[in-house]
Amino acid sequence: MNELGSNPASQISGKKSVQDYIDEIPMWPDGTKLTKLPLTGMQWRIWGLAVAGKFFEGLVAIGLIGIALPLIIHEFALSSFQASVVTSIVLFGILIGATALGGMADIFGRKVMFIAEMALFTFFLLALTFAQNFYTLVACLFGIGVALGCDYPTAHMVISEAVPSRGRGGLVLGAFAFQAIGAISGAALGFGVLSVYPALDAWRWMFAAAILPAIAVVSGRFFVCDSAHWLVSRGRLKEAEAETHKLLKREPQYPKVVELVDPHAAQHGGRDEPQRHIAVLFDKSHIRATLLACVPWFLQDLSTYGIGIFTPVILAATIGTATAVKDTPGLIHKVQLSAEGTMMLDILLVVGIVAAILLVERAGRIKLQIAGFIGCAVGLGLAALSMLGGGHNMPLLFLGFMLFNFMTNMGPNAQTYLLAGEVFPTAIRGYGAGFAASVAKIGAVATAFGFPILLKAIGTPTLLVFLIISSLLGAAATWAFRVETRGALKDVSSRVQPQV
């Protein structure tokens, strides 16, 4: 069998960047290149363990919260204000964790925070199952949110900094797809637990089911390599070379030797040390990237989290099962009905993300985000029309929600996440992506907290009109601040310039 040799043309061509090594297609000794660049075992391991974070976010923050909320309200006899706190506290935790901990990945490294966030998530998930009052319940949900917030920038970075430029968008979005799969799994898990154990405290078993998988993920994350991109940004070239070699370990080995160029070496022989703090996001070199990452994501989260969390509530009200619950069996039946409807609609989230994966490298991030925002507005418009005149046109309602779920995951829900992790340079990528996620979650928290109040005050159709407006504004903001991030990460920063 032929082996990958040390071809002088391919391996003794001078020092290269980390991305150049990752993007290099292995070459046979006779000079024949492989037809494609397969991922190494380490690259697949990193991707798989990053997938878990997005899955747990969908499972807990979207799927289980919506199903478990009515049970929690009745078990703890919560007021409407307390119920709003329970609904929004995970998102508020994500808001805090994305910036407070996400930026730590720029200081302590991607791997350290990759492990720490999942350990924190597991601890609070376990504590949640034993919560005995409103205050411990809120504290545990907040802790879970903080951990998931850290995962927003960190999971994206460990993937995008470890995989080839070509196909990076599909791999990141492939991981992001598990947020939708997690949401569906949460609804299915809630329905299954209630079928076996129809009791008010069934919500504890729903969350407990994720503990052992979370422990397995924490363990697995100890066995990945750190980001060589980050190590280079810190001037630790020897470590970066070792981690690059570990990342690209294959049989037969290629490249045999890794020699990295220092991109920060100044012409006068010194080093230009990049600044690492949040204020840098607002200087003239990065403000366009910050606006692109933050504004559309904020507007997108207004509608996506509101619809995602409260789809069971809206369906229950529309179907006519939202009458006063007089006993526990009636409540359980109501929750099961809404869970079934939610699962049906959430399938379109998966279909949407598959479309995003297939189209992102062809159409580009910006075009898909704009088209998705417009499609979301159309879907919400159909849902609003279904409720005109006080009637409930169920086919039109489901069509509207299905179109919304498809378009949001093909467009803004996927692309805002992807853009935020690509548009900033390596030295501040954690801060930038984390800050963008935090700004986005301000919209999510506001929606989650205010949705129950607004539903009662102005009604579902009027509320949907406001969300239509936010979607159209998202399309406009994407166009105004547009920066296409396809290609090598090291080349993106040069594109963040005002466009004429």
pLDDT band of 143, cuts 50, 70, 90: very high
Residue 212: its pLDDT value, please?
Answer: 95
For the chain, the three-class secondary structure string (H helix, E strand, C coil) is CCCCCCCHHHHCCCCECHHHHHHCCCECCCCCECCCCCCCHHHHHHHHHHHHHHHHHHHHHHHHHHHHHHHHHHHHCCCHHHHHHHHHHHHHHHHHHHHHCHHHHHCCCHHHHHHHHHHHHHHHHHHHCCCCCHHHHHHHHHHHHHHHHHHHHHHHHHHHCCCCCCCHHHHHHHHHHHHHHHHHHHHHHHHHHHHHCCCCCHHHHHHHCCHHHHHHHHHHHCCCCCCHHHHHHCCCHHHHHHHHHHHCCCCCCCCCCCCECCCCECCCCCECCCCCCHHHHHCCCCHHHHHHHHHHHHHHHHHHHHHHHHHHHHHHHHHCCCCCCCCHHHHHHHHHHHHHHHHHHHHHHHHHHHHHHHHHHHHCHHHHHHHHHHHHHHHHHHHHHCCHHHCCCHHHHHHHHHHHHHHHHHCHHHHHHHHHCCCCCHHHHHHHHHHHHHHHHHHHHHHHHHHHHHHHHHCHHHHHHHHHHHHHHHHHHHHHCCCCCCCCHHHHHHHCCCCC
Q: Tell me what pLDDT residue 30 has.
A: 62
Q: What is the pLDDT of residue 499?
A: 45
Lowest mean pLDDT among 78-87, 142-151, 157-166, 212-221: 78-87
Domains by residue range for the chain, with CATH: 41-227+276-495 (1.20.1250.20)
| Residues 404 and 379: beta-carbon distance below 8 Å | yes
Q: Considering only residues 10 and 107, tell me which one the structure prediction assigns the higher pLDDT.
A: 107
In this prediction, residue 376 carries a pLDDT of 93
Q: Rounded to whole angstroms, how far apart are CA atoms 16 and 156?
A: 24
Cβ count within 10 A of residue 34: 12
Q: How confident is the model at residue 147 (pLDDT cuts 50, 70, 90)?
A: very high
pLDDT at 491: 60
Confidence (pLDDT) at 7: 39
Peptide bond into 255 cis (omega under 30): yes
Model-level pTM? 0.79
pLDDT > 70: what percent of the chain?
81
Q: Between residues 499 and 386, which one has the greater pLDDT?
A: 386
Is pLDDT at 19 greater than 60 in this prediction?
Answer: yes
Asked if 151 and 57 count as a contact pair (C-beta separation under 8 A), the reply is yes
- Per residue in 227-263, pLDDT tens? 999 999 888 999 999 999 999 998 888 888 899 988 7
Q: What is the mean pLDDT of the chain?
A: 83
pLDDT in tens, 291-327: 999 999 999 988 776 665 556 555 555 554 444 455 5
Q: What is the pLDDT of residue 253?
A: 84
Among 95-109, 119-133, 164-178, the range of highest mean pLDDT? 119-133
pLDDT of 322 reads 43
Q: Which residue has the higher pLDDT, 467 or 332?
A: 467
Q: Residue 219 — pLDDT band, cuts 50, 70, 90?
A: very high
Q: Is 364 exposed, middle or buried (0-12, 13-18, 19+ CB in 10 A)?
A: middle
pLDDT of 12 strictly over 70 = no
CA distances from 20 to 41, 179, 322, 374, 488 (A): 19, 31, 58, 37, 9
With a cut of 90, say whether residue 205 has pLDDT above it: yes
Residue 3 has pLDDT above 70, yes or no: no
Q: How buried is residue 271: exposed, middle or buried, by Cβ count under 10 Å (0-12/13-18/19+)?
A: exposed
Pairwise pLDDT comparison (384 vs 30), residue with the higher score: 384
Averaged pLDDT, 190-204? 88
pLDDT of residue 321: 44
Q: What is the pLDDT of residue 267?
A: 41
Q: What number is the average pLDDT over the span 388-410?
A: 82
- 461 to 171, 448, 464, 465: CA distances (angstroms): 37, 17, 5, 6
Output the six-digit token pair for 334.
Answer: 């109501």
What value does the mean pLDDT take over residues 343-362? Answer: 84
Phi and psi, residue 268, nearest 5°: -85, 10
Phi-psi region at 486: left, alpha or beta (left = phi > 0; alpha = psi -120 to 50) = beta
